[in-house]
Structure 1
Amino acid sequence: MRVCIAGAGFMARTHATEYAEMDVEVVGVSSPSGPVEFVEEFGFEAEAYADAATMLEDTEPDYVDVCTPTHTHLDLVRTAAAAGVDVFLEKPIAGTLAEAREIAETVDDAGLTFMVGHVVRFSPSYRTAHDLEIGTEGVARARRLSPFPDWGSDDWFADREKSGGVFVDLAIHDLDYLRWCWGDVERVFARRQCDAESEHGFVTLRFESGAVGYVESSWAQPQSRPLTFELELAGDDGLVEFSSADESPYDEWTTDGATVESPLARNGYRRELEHFVSRLEDGSDPEVGAEEAIEALRLALAAERSADRGVPVTLEEVVA
């Protein structure tokens, strides 16, 4: 399997680290700066390009892995579609619903295999929690806290027109995950505190089932604090908890006793990339297609709208 990587920043490096251990050949890397050092660092027998179109034409890969800033996604998907190349796209699918829908239409019209990298669905402990039976859903709680991501090129995370802010870029991990676990959401209510390079927010969710969720996300932690995340799912027949700070990261309590498990060796990034490659090989649809990614974006934009207005927002209101 031959892949090109569009981008040479943090996420591209994250994926490149996994490709170095997979049965996948990286044949090209593109970035406006011309990522020669990136290619040399990972030891890929690949060419470095300043633009993706030339890269795809020259290398004819099986797929392109798009790891570029959110506001560039649509143009790169158009480029891939013109070249007839399948696409793995980092989350979020886009910054607006209009762009997200155009991406969906573009890949559909071109007949491409397409997946969006909502990696939390593939993280071992989160996956295990999703698959457990805990009875009727009651309350869900998720937290994801980190320093401000100042590693983006040209500080693009600080530009809300490009990154979408903490709800669209960070909270979307847990919004997508909770919707995957417990189904569609009826309405959200959100609060947010932010300045130029600091943002902290929370979202309460009312699921159509009547269950309640709480998502807290932060780009306001000290630079010395690593990314931390927590999950709690409570039903009428069990409670599941996970915390990145725990030595035993997965606990389950039920009427039959307690279970403690360690996460699997492969991390979520490896698992999602292997999943996409396997779907390319067998011709089936990837797990997280355009429609799932659009609904995750809709949730994040509903939270953004609620925080701006100070009132609850139903998902039906978020159409543009």
Structure 2
Amino acid sequence: MRIGIAGTGFMAEMHAAEYAEMDVDVVAVCSPSGPDEFLRSFDFGADAYTDVARMCEDAALDAVDVCTPTHTHVDVVRAVAENGLDVFLEKPIAGTLEEANEISRIVDDAGVRCMVGHVVRYVPSYREARDLSIGDPGVARARRLSPFPDWGSGDWFADRDRSGGVFVDLAIHDLDYLRWCWGPVERVFARRRRESEAEHGFATLRFENGAVGYVEASWAQPESRPLTSELELAGDDGLVEFDSDDEAAYCEWTDDGVTVESPLAKSGYRRELEHFASCVESGTDPDVGPAAAIASLRLALAAERSADRGEPVAPEEVIA
């Protein structure tokens, strides 16, 4: 299987490291400023490009992994789809619903597969937590805390028109995961504190099934603090807890006792990329397509709108 990578930033590096251990050939890498330094970091023997369309035309690819900034997704996906290639698109699918719907139309019209990289669904501890039986859903809590992402070219994360801010770029991990676990959200109420290169947000979710969720996301942590994440899923018959700072990947408390297990060896990135590769090879649809990614983006945008207005917002209100 022949893959091209669009982008040479942090996520492209994460994906490239996984491809190096997979039965996949990275044969082309594209960056507007040139991917030479990136290629020196990985022994792919891949060709260098500065234009995505030219890479897709010349490199005899099966698919393209898009790891470019969020605001570029529409144009990059269009160039890939017009060449009949399948697309792996790093989350979020886009920064606005208009762009997300345009991406969905592009891949549908071209008849190509598009998988959106909501990696938390593939992280072993999170996936196991979803699969454990805890009875009827009650309360969920998810936290994701990080220093400000200053690795983006041109400091694009600090431009909320391009990155979408902490709800759209960071909290969407947990918003997507909780929606995947417990279904549609009826309304969201959010608060946010924002400075030029710091942002911290809270969102309370009311699910249609009556459960309540709490999501906290931060780009305001000290540089010395690594990315950390926490999860609790509580039902009427059990509790699942995960903390990335804890050696125990997750714990399950029931009337029968306590179960503690560790995560499997493969990372979430490896698992999602292996799934995408298998879909390309088998001609099947991926688990996370544009429709699921759009629903999660709509929820993140509802949180953003709630924080702006200071009042609850129903995701279905977010139509543009």
TM-score (norm: length of structure 1)? 0.99
What SS does the corresponding residue of 2:319 show, helix, strand or coil?
coil
Q: Does 1:88 align with 2:95?
A: no
1:54-203 equivalences under 5 Å are 54-203=54-203
What SS does the corresponding residue of 1:147 show, helix, strand or coil?
coil
Q: CA deviation at 1:218?
A: 0.1
Q: CA–CA distance in 1 between the matches of 2:289 and 2:276?
A: 11
Q: CA–CA distance in 2 between the matches of 1:249 and 1:112?
A: 37
One-letter identity of the residue aligned with 1:80 = V
Cα offsets for 1:78-131 (capped at 9, x unmatched): 101111111000000000001000100110110001100000000000000011
Cα offsets for 1:128-172 (capped at 9, x unmatched): 001111100000000000000001000000000000000000000
The match for 1:280 is: 280
1:254-293 equivalences under 5 Å are 254-293=254-293
Q: CA deviation at 1:256?
A: 1.4
Q: CA deviation at 1:265?
A: 0.2
The match for 1:247 is: 247
The match for 2:230 is: 230
What SS does the corresponding residue of 1:241 show, helix, strand or coil?
strand
Could you tell me which runs of 5 or more consecutive residues in structure 2 were left unpaired when the two chains were aligned. Answer: none
Q: CA–CA distance in 2 between the matches of 1:2 and 1:112?
A: 16
Q: CA deviation at 1:305?
A: 0.1
Q: CA–CA distance in 1 between the matches of 2:40 and 2:222?
A: 33
Q: CA–CA distance in 2 between the matches of 1:20 and 1:284?
A: 24
Q: CA–CA distance in 2 between the matches of 1:5 and 1:281?
A: 18
Q: CA deviation at 1:38?
A: 0.9
Cα offsets for 1:37-76 (capped at 9, x unmatched): 2112101111111111111111021100000000000000
One-letter identity of the residue aligned with 1:266 = K
1:12-91 equivalences under 5 Å are 12-91=12-91
Q: CA–CA distance in 1 between the matches of 2:163 and 2:186?
A: 25
What SS does the corresponding residue of 1:206 show, helix, strand or coil?
strand
One-letter identity of the residue aligned with 2:22 = M
The match for 2:295 is: 295
What SS does the corresponding residue of 2:26 show, helix, strand or coil?
strand
What SS does the corresponding residue of 2:264 show, helix, strand or coil?
coil
Q: CA–CA distance in 1 between the matches of 2:95 and 2:163?
A: 7
What SS does the corresponding residue of 1:5 show, helix, strand or coil?
strand
Q: CA deviation at 1:250?
A: 1.1
Q: CA deviation at 1:258?
A: 1.0
Could you tell me which runs of 5 or more consecutive residues in structure 1 were left unpaired when the two chains were aligned. Answer: none
What SS does the corresponding residue of 1:221 show, helix, strand or coil?
coil
Q: CA deviation at 1:25?
A: 0.1
Q: CA deviation at 1:281?
A: 1.5
Q: CA deviation at 1:304?
A: 0.2
What SS does the corresponding residue of 1:313 show, helix, strand or coil?
coil
Cα offsets for 1:208-261 (capped at 9, x unmatched): 000000000000000000000000000000000000010112111111111110
Q: CA–CA distance in 2 between the matches of 1:55 and 1:230?
A: 40
Cα offsets for 1:1-31 (capped at 9, x unmatched): 1000000010000000001111100010000
Q: Does 1:9 align with 2:9?
A: yes
Task: Please identify, of 281-290 and 89-98, the stretch whose mean Cα deviation from structure 2 is larger.
Answer: 281-290
What SS does the corresponding residue of 1:138 show, helix, strand or coil?
strand
Structure 1 outlier segments of 4+, above 3 Å: none
TM-score (norm: length of structure 2)? 0.99
One-letter identity of the residue aligned with 2:117 = G
Q: CA deviation at 1:270?
A: 0.3
Overall identity of the aligned pairs, in %: 74
